[in-house]
Structure 1
Amino acid sequence: MVALVAATTSVVVTACQNDPDIDITKLTAETDPPEVLYNQGLANLNAGKTTEAARKFDAIDKQQPFSEYARKALVMKAFVNYRQGQTQDAINAATRYLNLYPESEDAAYAQYILGLAYSKQIPTVTQDQKPAFKTIEAMQAVVDKYPKSEYVEDAQAKIRFAKDQLAGKEMQVGRYYLERKEYLAAVTRFRTVVEQYSGTNQVEEALARLVESYFAMGITSEAQTAAAVLGHNYPDSQWYADSYKLLQSNGLEPRENGGSWISRAGKKILGV
């Protein structure tokens, strides 16, 4: 299955998009034996005829829904749906596969397809981020349940992307509150980024915004700590330069308070 998927992925991407998606196999009834339909499905898939490939795999499921070929066809249907951009159909097929065959040899791939489909649904940070949560859940299952599979590396990359989206959403809301001088609400959002999404590229700005928010509230110790942690992690950052300048405007400088939550979070960022 793995070799097949790798091969078909390349072919589908490079297939001529102007060719009509018609069956390249001989015209046979959909009551043909499942092995015949399956091979025809693969032939169409290799030729980039994804619609016809899906039709063949569907025919197997209708004809012999609990056969070995139906199992193979179901995971291929999930793949075809994903390649066609039909992400919800891919999710449905992959979920059904995992419910029916959780211990099969292709379960890791079905789980991976599930994560890919959710990842494709992730919208911009201005919208609801439920697909990002679903992506993390699905891809974390790949990492945890199938640690030796070839999908782990990309699953981890998709998790990082999804977490960055979630952190970006928190930053968007935090900046909204900061602009309206609702500092406590802003701090809550920026704190979430620093504590829960420490591995994302949003942390640098989040620390700087914490400096700004705490400084505006007059909680200078926390502002100084946030600046110190920012400087430890991103010494050449423009965000750190701006935070340092803000503190200096009031005769202060970065100074870490070891008892602050920001200090504890900073150790996590550094991997201490």
Structure 2
Amino acid sequence: MSAQRIALGLRNGETSRRGDRLRRGLPMVFSLLALSLPLGGCGTGALWDKFLAKDDKMVDEPADKLYNEGLYLMNQDKDTKGAAKKFEEVDRQHPYSDWARKSLLMSAYAYYQAGDYDSCIGSATRYVTLHPGSPDAAYAQYLIAASNYDQIPDISRDQGRTEKAIAALEEVIRKYPTSEYANSAKQKLEGARDQLAGKEMDIGRYYMSKRDYAAAINRFKTVVTRYQTTRHVEEALARLTEAYMAIGIVGEAQTAAAVLGHNFPDSRWYKDAYNLVKSGGLEPAENKGSWISKSFKKLGLG
């Protein structure tokens, strides 16, 4: 994975300049505090100890130490959420370092592995925003897309997450067409589009059961015009044949059956459409001026 290559490619010698500056300023802080504290008494020592204890927490931990602790948690303890927190701590304590940049991507990867998709999207989006020219920006964008894709619900529910997945996957393909993630994004994109087509079919079948043929036709039309490369297009053409026959628009019914037979001659849906047209004393016949015929010719399928 790209994230693993990032982990292996880091330098191990970077230190925290921010922590050094803090430590250099301590003598003056100590002297000012000494002037303000009363001399003698056991209470003074206790207060001084509390100050030192508090100051220890103020000093940053080295970036490489935090980063390696994150790697250990992720690889050895399989504590991906704990690892993500360590990587985020690198970004918090050393925000302008090279460690921070790579830790930000590693936190996104760790959250993805943990199934915390919203946190993954947050970290990956921040990475793309801050480092758009990085070689690893393609991977960050892919993590955003994959996180949305993995949350696609079944067709009975709202498909807003599917729309987000499609937008993010298209972004990977558009911005990083030669990256190693483009092909995977294309495959996921087809899956997401198939899901939206399935949603349209589900609603269309519902309208058919209610004999609301006009509403059903609009849903099946969406599948034919927008999701033609999905597995649902065969059923959509058969359902169009059925709906058009039901309302007496036999020319469109004949065209739907003919286009279905031409493009999917072995489909079981074609057998149903063919028998339905024949039951009305007709034959499948394509009207070249029909929107159905034009939709398929536009994609070179007709």
Distance 2:5 2:64 in 1: 18
Matches within 5 A, 1:12-161: 31-47=60-76, 48-161=78-191
Q: Which runs of 5+ in 1 are unaligned?
A: 9-28
After TM superposition, what 4+ stretches of structure 1 lie above 3 angstroms from structure 2? 5-8, 268-272
Counterparts of 1:7 and 1:76 in 2: how far apart (Å)? 8
Report the secondary structure of 2:154's partner residue: coil
Match of 1:238 in 2: 268
Query: Which whole-Å CA distance do the structure 1 matches of 2:242 and 2:97 have between them?
Result: 63
* 1:267–1:7 distance in 2 versus 1, CA, 3 Å: farther
- Matched letter for residue 148 of structure 1: T
- Partner SS for 1:251: coil
Does the 8 Å contact 1:97/1:110 carry over to 2? yes
Corresponding letter in the other structure for 2:67:
Y
SS in 2 for 1:142: helix
In structure 2, what residue type is equivalent to 1:105?
P
1:262 aligns with 2:277: no
TM-score, normalising length: structure 2: 0.79
* Residue 102 of structure 1: how far off its partner (Å): 1.2
User: What is the match of residue 216 of structure 1?
Assistant: 246
Deviation at 1:3, TM superposition (A): 6.7
Displacement of 1:256? 0.1
Cross-structure match for 2:4? 4
Question: What 5-or-longer segments of structure 2 have no aligned partner?
Answer: 9-56
Question: What is the CA distance between 1:70 and its match in structure 2?
Answer: 1.1
- For 1:129 and 1:253, the matched residues in 2 are separated by 38
How many residues are aligned here? 252
Q: Distance in 2 between matches of 1:250 and 1:185?
A: 23
Matched, 1:181 2:207: no
CA distance in 1, matches of 2:122, 2:105: 11
Cα deviation for residue 69 of structure 1 reads 1.1
Calculate the TM-score normalised by the size of structure 1: 0.88
Percent of matched pairs sharing the same residue: 51
Distance 2:6 2:65 in 1: 22
Give 1:157 deviation, angstroms: 0.7
* Contact 2:244 2:253 survives alignment (8 Å): yes
| 1:253 is aligned to 2:283 | yes
Kindly report the root-mean-square deviation, in angstroms, between the aligned alpha carbons of the 2 structures. 1.9
